[in-house]
Structure 1
């Protein structure tokens, strides 16, 4: 182990710190890690953490969005969901969903990931299983509200959890796995819906009830598994050897050294929480997330309805959703790998947002008789949706240092971003549509183009801060450090662009 570590003057990664050529003497205590040993460590982290994270997020999105598959499989008729009742049910999920995100992310460390995350999963699994036996609109509303409560903290907690294992430049790829899981849940959900709705009448249950029941049981199994396999942190990870834990400590200490803070602080730092609320870039990122999530939530929930509006049967529609989600998964994982490799975010996010805008424009402008072209447009639309949503989450994690500032920033971003679900649930009105869904596509088009402009603004703001810090003299940097600047305000911190 000792041969893998040596003191050196580090050249840090973007998203952490600046070049060391003019760095104060503080940097001399940085420890060098053998790249081969670190590579083996990261491979092991991926092997043990990624499957759990992907499976958890997959069942979360599966249970959240299956209402769209159930709607075209007979639920609307059985529960008398006339008028805008389905839209209201979709919307109310996000009312409770957004209410608990910030508290959950801040309290994650105190309540322990190995307890809080399984609690969320098992809680919503019980709700989905119960939803298989509801018989009226009021019961549907109750299940959606409860589902929102239990799913609320999952995503900010998972992203924050991953940030305690991975360095900033390693995070886009790992968080991309979560969004690939959300995309694959659509494909998996479509296949499940196709198979389970064919059980219509078995043991007296409708096809959509079988859908809720089986998916709820799957989630329950995943929740029970996480109790035994999810460690609170790398120190308690049973699958890491002592020398690997030592490497993890060094990685964290090197990052914390330049950021002027401890990334593993146990005591809630209220000053960091306040800094997150005062930071303009957190609000810009949050508003961009609102715009992108309007598209993401509307698309993932109502894709079966949109495709059915092209003139396909309900059964065929369930299958036609699958290739769209698979395509979205392939594109996103490729973009996330490239983003991490090049250490760039905006250069991918702006073009991806504009490609999605083209897809919405096609669905608005192409004649309803051109069914094949309209179906192709769903692929174009899906191309950028998961990319911009996922990379923006990574970007805000990279742009905020200090554990509790980062926790507050991701919680605030997700709270504002996920409030888009309230609007997304209302813009695709089944009862008043001829199949084109003009309002839904038009609102989504305006939102994704606004998001593209916001990503560019974020790029300009962060580049300006980097340039300003690059031009600082040694004396200016020392004064900033002596004044107590830490985290991403530290003069040696550099933002990923």
Structure 2
């Protein structure tokens, strides 16, 4: 009987192996088929969703940043702005902007992205339109503050919407589209401002009022369109068929499986971010970076007009090449830093050029206008790159997801204090030298440059500590995070 059973087992083994191979082959074929279908679905998401997000991000930065162009086209005189009132109007955009980001993150998904995003866009578009009819400083400030409150809903909503549609390893590239758009928006705003300048006097309105009126109307129109084209979920998305929705269901299951089934971050992960010194170093740098970015992008037309003594027309169109150059640098350096995973170099290579640019502008009246205009290109080399590279470096060196979300949230929220600061460092009373603004910005770039070296040393020290953990000389953390030996920092 034993021999008989042994012969049965021997006969059955090839059959079992054959069944296993068939199952393995079927599974591999199924996975390959799913991957092909998934690539098609992601391409549809990029085609139908990303243009909407890019358009919204573009018009939001156009609406908040056009005050610099309006100031050069006569808004200061028409509204009777004196002293630092222009700077105050710039700064007061940000307090409610910062405060509205947190509640926006809480309600966006619950209420629905297809409702929150269009509603916020329509509201800030109406406020932008209201700027065109402002008669004094108080009305201008009221419109700016309300604009900030409603625009504060956009970035958290867009980021969460991306996380709702894309997998975690797909989000980084799509978020980078939003940062690239902020750079391009400055160039576009200069072109629009120059074009609208020719409407000066139409219907009895000066050009700067038409700038607000037209951009506000466009924003409201885009918001109206977004209400119909932003889908509430993949189950009702008009651009997905049944097969695509099946793929999206599978993707959602994989995402929920990775995050523990409920997608919620833990208090422990939040505390990891709070207690990690690198979170605060990156956040401090972000304040410096956004001070430079907002100060330069908003006040460059003002500097060209009242600092370099260019005409109104020249201050509009001469700002465009500087902003275009900054956009190109951001795109190229951002691509290279992603391609080679070299975050530190992307930060520190551009910063010295910005230092040189501000140092030239601080050189005074003895320098020619051409030299000072060239300095603006040097500043543009670092202005957009600094903030985006700093956030990218923090994001790629933080884990798990809850800690990353908390770290980035702090960096974004606290970093926007740079917007408040930037509005105060270029008072009209300091024209034409604008010494305070140039000196403050130079200091911000220098501080960022030094803190990046501190961060580099910190990351290298932690990697050395991880080697000790691998060798058993140091204890390994109980909970997984970027401090674990399996996680490698990018330098």
TM-score under structure 1 length normalisation = 0.83
**Which residue in the other structure is 1:493 paired with?**
487
**Which residue in the other structure is 1:60 paired with?**
60
**Which residue in the other structure is 1:283 paired with?**
280
**Which residue in the other structure is 1:177 paired with?**
177
CA distance in 1, matches of 2:402, 2:145: 28
Is the contact made by 2:286 and 2:390 (CA closer than 8 Å) also made in structure 1? yes
How much does 1:325 deviate?
0.9
Quick one: structure 1 residues 134 and 367, their matched pair in 2 at CA, closer, same or farther if it must change by over 3 Å?
closer
How much does 1:476 deviate?
10
Quick one: structure 1 residues 282 and 318, their matched pair in 2 at CA, closer, same or farther if it must change by over 3 Å?
same
**Which residue in the other structure is 2:248 paired with?**
245
Is the contact made by 1:173 and 1:337 (CA closer than 8 Å) also made in structure 2? no
Is the contact made by 2:282 and 2:394 (CA closer than 8 Å) also made in structure 1? yes
**Which residue in the other structure is 2:384 paired with?**
386
CA distance in 2, matches of 1:493, 1:71: 50
Is the contact made by 1:70 and 1:208 (CA closer than 8 Å) also made in structure 2? yes
**Which residue in the other structure is 1:421 paired with?**
419
**Which residue in the other structure is 2:114 paired with?**
114
Mean Cα deviation higher: 380-389 or 351-360: 351-360
Quick one: structure 1 residues 238 and 428, their matched pair in 2 at CA, closer, same or farther if it must change by over 3 Å?
same
**Which residue in the other structure is 1:17 paired with?**
none
DSSP 3-state at the match of 1:431: helix
CA distance in 2, matches of 1:396, 1:425: 26
CA distance in 2, matches of 1:365, 1:478: 54
Mean Cα deviation higher: 131-140 or 470-479: 470-479
**Which residue in the other structure is 2:348 paired with?**
350
Is the contact made by 1:106 and 1:408 (CA closer than 8 Å) also made in structure 2? no
How much does 1:110 deviate?
3.3
Quick one: structure 1 residues 221 and 273, their matched pair in 2 at CA, closer, same or farther if it must change by over 3 Å?
farther
**Which residue in the other structure is 1:408 paired with?**
406
CA distance in 1, matches of 2:386, 2:202: 42
CA distance in 2, matches of 1:275, 1:357: 34
Is the contact made by 1:199 and 1:207 (CA closer than 8 Å) also made in structure 2? yes
Is the contact made by 1:102 and 1:408 (CA closer than 8 Å) also made in structure 2? no
CA distance in 2, matches of 1:403, 1:231: 26
**Which residue in the other structure is 1:80 paired with?**
80
Structure 1 gap segments, 5+ residues each = 8-30
Match of 1:361 among 359, 367, 385: 359
Question: Bigger relative contact order, structure 1 or 2, given CA contacts below 8 A and separation 6+?
Answer: 1
**Which residue in the other structure is 2:195 paired with?**
195
TM-score under structure 2 length normalisation = 0.84
Is the contact made by 1:175 and 1:390 (CA closer than 8 Å) also made in structure 2? no
Is the contact made by 1:350 and 1:455 (CA closer than 8 Å) also made in structure 2? yes
Which of these two proteins has the greater Rg computed from alpha carbons?
2
DSSP 3-state at the match of 2:80: coil
How much does 1:243 deviate?
5.9
Quick one: structure 1 residues 411 and 80, their matched pair in 2 at CA, closer, same or farther if it must change by over 3 Å?
same
DSSP 3-state at the match of 1:380: helix
Quick one: structure 1 residues 336 and 231, their matched pair in 2 at CA, closer, same or farther if it must change by over 3 Å?
farther
Question: What pairs with 1:56-455 in structure 2 (closer than 5 Å)?
Answer: 56-163=56-163, 173-231=173-231, 238-240=238-240, 241-242=244-245, 244-245=247-248, 248-249=251-252, 252=255, 256=258, 261-262=259-260, 265-267=262-264, 269-308=266-305, 309-365=307-363, 367=365, 369-433=367-431, 435-455=432-452
Structure 2 gap segments, 5+ residues each = 1-23
Quick one: structure 1 residues 487 and 136, their matched pair in 2 at CA, closer, same or farther if it must change by over 3 Å?
same
Is the contact made by 2:75 and 2:208 (CA closer than 8 Å) also made in structure 1? yes
Match of 2:458 among 444, 457, 461: 461
How much does 1:305 deviate?
0.7
Is the contact made by 2:179 and 2:388 (CA closer than 8 Å) also made in structure 1? yes
CA distance in 2, matches of 1:205, 1:385: 34
Q: How many pairs does the alignment contain?
A: 463
Alpha-carbon RMSD = 3.2
CA distance in 1, matches of 2:480, 2:168: 16
Is the contact made by 2:65 and 2:298 (CA closer than 8 Å) also made in structure 1? yes
Mean Cα deviation higher: 422-431 or 158-167: 158-167
Is the contact made by 1:285 and 1:396 (CA closer than 8 Å) also made in structure 2? yes
CA distance in 2, matches of 1:494, 1:32: 29
How much does 1:421 deviate?
1.5
How much does 1:341 deviate?
1.1
CA distance in 1, matches of 2:366, 2:169: 45
1:255-300 CA-to-partner distances (Å, cap 9, x unmatched) read x3xxxx44x7344644433333333222111101000011001001
CA distance in 2, matches of 1:302, 1:292: 15
How much does 1:453 deviate?
1.9
**Which residue in the other structure is 2:14 paired with?**
none
Is the contact made by 1:4 and 1:34 (CA closer than 8 Å) also made in structure 2? no
